[in-house]
Amino acid sequence: MIALPVLPQTGAAKSVHRATLYDAAVFNDRAAVERLLARDPASVNQGDAAGFTPLHGVAGEEHTAMARLLIARGANVNAANREGTTPLHLAAYPEMAKLLVQAGAKIEARDHGGNTPLHSATEHPEMQDVMAQLLKLGANPNAANKAGETPLDVALTRQERGKVALLRRHGAQPRKAK
């Protein structure tokens, strides 16, 4: 096994143990995660200074088996960081989004800007497949954030025709005039 160095980052965890658990999960090192969780089961939900938990880190990777392990060990699928971002807001792959929702993640969770996971997926390039999965799972295509923007508004602003078409197929309507 390779020892992972703990490098301080902005908002890095306060203890080596937590940083190592986060890193082991993100690097998909199941043996290290199992060992660390055996020592401290509660660490599965400990976040760094910014509130990112190991499940937040794994959500952006294609490590669904690791996410399943963390969830089975008690990871809170609705844990919000300091900006209100949940693991589902960070899901970068359709299967990860599906797993999180099936495990109880709130599909309409809101960050501090009022953005849903569908808003987040719409804002990122190459995440149309995640958008499609969220819509299939019941995400509201007409949810507005605190600025009054819907996912369709975001897609139109970014001139992403494929995302616009996907949202319209799922009933997205243009934002109404205020």
Residue 41 domain-assigned (yes or no): yes
Q: Is 60 left (phi over 0), alpha (psi -120 to 50) or beta?
A: alpha
- Does the residue 3 lie in any domain? no
Answer whether residue 5 is part of any domain: no
**Count of domains forming the chain:** 2
The answer, yes or no, to whether residue 18 has pLDDT greater than 90, is no
Alpha carbon distance 148, 163 (integer Å)? 19
Let me know whether 120 and 57 are in one domain: no
Give the residue from 60, 92, 124 where a domain finishes: 92
Residue 69 has pLDDT above 80, yes or no: yes
Is residue 15 pLDDT above 90, yes or no? Answer: no
Do 87 and 55 share a structural domain? yes
pLDDT at 17 over 70: no
- Asked if residue 75 and residue 23 are part of one domain, the reply reads yes
Q: Which of 12-16, 24-28, 152-156 has the lowest mean pLDDT?
A: 12-16
pLDDT confidence band for 13 (50 / 70 / 90): very low
Whether residue 155 sits in one domain with residue 88: no
Residue 147: CB atoms within 10 A of its CB come to 9
pLDDT at 139 over 80: yes
Give the separation between CA 88 and CA 173, rounded to whole angstroms: 24
Average pLDDT score, the chain:
90
Residue spans of beta strands (DSSP E) within 41-125: none
pLDDT score at 168: 98
In a domain, 30, yes or no: yes
Kindly state the DSSP code that residue 5 receives in the 8-state scheme: P
Domain that holds residue 145: 107-178
pLDDT score of 21 more than 60: yes
For residue 7, pLDDT over 50 is answered with no
- The CATH number given to whatever domain includes residue 174 is 1.25.40.20
Q: Which of 58, 92, 126 is the last residue of a domain?
A: 92
Cα–Cα dist 24/81, whole Å: 19
In a domain, 102, yes or no: no
Q: Which of 42, 68, 92 is the last residue of a domain?
A: 92
pLDDT at 16: 44
